[in-house]
Structure 1
């Protein structure tokens, strides 16, 4: 009997089934700006330019990394899509951009419509949280390319900001303060090291219920990345934010300096907040030194806001009013060596 595409490894009918399963979740993110539904070759998004004086589009793209391994091994796919959205929208937010729309790419060896629908449900939830429309995506069935049961994810976000409101960091000065917004855990960075420490070295299992954790270890690690869009946009309406740093790969030590002008240094007091227990568990399990922890993980701070000292208390009050856990974690000092020092 001759070959067809399904026998070769690509099931077109499964693709059509998957589209039907995700349709309601995708359309739940649409606003009046979205002009096309699922199935178009391209997504049309009509921006109301009259709302802006001099708009600039800001884009960002990212993936989820080896956190996906946990989703595969735990067969839990409902929240990994939130991570995908968060990584991109938090990045463009760091320049003051309001997310407009998001696209995703999912590649797998064999398309499983129900599993894909769970992933997209999470993506849609992340988009709703960020105020972005999930305007399109791509599902690639690549037989023989990925391991059975596994998939890869990538995403792309586009936002908008007024040209004179772009957060560049150029106005940051010595004496400005750093406010840290609490993370939900590891977010989507450092999982290769975390897995090596917890499972390969220390011999823990996903089902282990440790007294310092709220959930079993697997659920604790799968906590989705926080999306800071609503919180930060509210602040931008009321305060002059000089700098924003999304704390992703590279941790505080690598990400905060990305927004600093030459000749300035961020000095962070590690005693000013309490990282979640998962971080100390990883550190102890892997016998990881202090510097490596702070250049790999967010250590409990997912976003850093840099403001003038005079605005600090008002910003903290505003954050408290919206239920945000925040703390002053450091200040900006003059130092030709630059970078970020954690004491």
Structure 2
């Protein structure tokens, strides 16, 4: 807890730290030597012969604004973990541990605990330990009742098992894993389209989901760690986490020179929320695919002869996979 600024309630801060210790403790795993409470968290790397550490850091952007509007804070921590660990696994790494940064003008323990419980839930889903973080009280920096979040994940992969796209070949299959919704990107546009242009509110009922609009757009980002682990033995040649930049900017990051990803837009289900945003905002297809995940949160490139096996494993792991395209000759771009 950062007590440097005037006006900080030290007693509240100490109480908060004691409250989060058991929450974090529930995520501990072998390798953690010490966790919450020290100046630094210690993790002993075991079970690797030639390990490479892979790190990822991110936040949840203006999706926080939706949480503030709804006064619902129990899932935003899941988003935070997801944004970091999903980036880590695309290199072939298994997440090991996670740290968070929670900053607010005035600490409200009940809100903070909901956020931390969400982070812990995300860590449990990602099979990594919440081993530390920073809670900063910064008077004057944030509007009343608001806060900011950032996270940091570290994973490890054997050096000869790094996924970097170098082995991608023409004819390889592209598998897409269904997203849970908008995930955590494009929310500035979401708010402008739905609330400003569409004059909607978070309480509006969305018949297609049987939920309020707020519940639909606050649904947490899907974590794909278990899906990735289910593919052990499959020759994964490339992976892409579909975040800011959508399909257009993210998929080329895993491609090597001389190939492109040819996708069939009719091969998966595009959730209704994206159609709603497109229609109200009068946004063209290319911009939608450049901004949003459009129903696919992760893509995995595998040899065509292993595609059926991979699909079956992913289904058994609880995922909804689609064969969405193939690798073709090209200029390291996405062909829709």
Residue in 2 aligned with 1:194? 190
Match of 2:334 among 329, 336, 340: 340
Residue in 2 aligned with 1:231? 227
Structure 2 spans left out of the alignment, 5+ residues? none
Residue in 2 aligned with 1:18? 16
Residue in 1 aligned with 2:37? 39
Q: Secondary structure at the residue paired with 1:161? A: strand
The question of 1:109 aligning with 2:105 is answered yes
The question of 1:162 aligning with 2:155 is answered no
Q: Secondary structure at the residue paired with 1:35? A: strand
Aligned residue pairs total 334
Residues 74-117 of structure 1, C-alpha deviation per residue, up to 9 Å, x if partnerless?
A: 00000000000000000010000000000000111111111101
Residue in 2 aligned with 1:182? 178
The question of 1:242 aligning with 2:237 is answered yes
Q: Secondary structure at the residue paired with 1:153? A: strand
The question of 1:276 aligning with 2:271 is answered yes
Residue in 1 aligned with 2:211? 215
TM-score by length of 2: 0.97
Answer whether contact 1:80 1:224 (CA < 8 A) is retained. Answer: yes
Q: Map 1:30-109 onto structure 2 (within 5 A).
A: 30-48=28-46, 51-109=47-105
Answer whether contact 1:21 1:114 (CA < 8 A) is retained. Answer: no
The question of 1:152 aligning with 2:148 is answered yes
User: Could you tell me how far apart the structure 1 residues matched to 2:115 and 2:52 are?
Assistant: 31
Answer whether contact 2:91 2:162 (CA < 8 A) is retained. Answer: yes
Give the superposition deviation at 1:13.
1.1
Q: Map 1:111-150 onto structure 2 (within 5 A).
A: 111-150=107-146
Residues 209-237 of structure 1, C-alpha deviation per residue, up to 9 Å, x if partnerless?
A: 022223110000010000000111120x1
Give the superposition deviation at 1:36.
1.5
Answer whether contact 1:6 1:12 (CA < 8 A) is retained. Answer: no
Residues 111-157 of structure 1, C-alpha deviation per residue, up to 9 Å, x if partnerless?
A: 11111010000000000111111000001111001111100000000
Residues 36-94 of structure 1, C-alpha deviation per residue, up to 9 Å, x if partnerless?
A: 1321000011122xx22211110010000000001111000000000000000000100
User: Could you tell me how far apart the structure 1 residues matched to 2:68 and 2:318 are?
Assistant: 33
Answer whether contact 1:214 1:220 (CA < 8 A) is retained. Answer: no
Answer whether contact 2:226 2:317 (CA < 8 A) is retained. Answer: no
Answer whether contact 1:83 1:224 (CA < 8 A) is retained. Answer: yes
- Decide which moves more: 15-24 or 289-298: 15-24
Answer whether contact 2:35 2:131 (CA < 8 A) is retained. Answer: yes
Give the superposition deviation at 1:319.
1.5
User: Could you tell me how far apart the structure 1 residues matched to 2:219 and 2:312 are?
Assistant: 27
Residue in 2 aligned with 1:267? 262
- Decide which moves more: 108-117 or 14-23: 14-23
RMSD: 1.3
TM-score by length of 1: 0.95
Q: Secondary structure at the residue paired with 1:241? A: coil
- Decide which moves more: 68-77 or 18-27: 18-27
Match of 1:205 among 201, 206, 212: 201
Residue in 2 aligned with 1:292? 287
Answer whether contact 2:99 2:132 (CA < 8 A) is retained. Answer: yes
Superposition misfits of 4+ residues, deviation over 4 angstroms: none
Give the superposition deviation at 1:7.
10
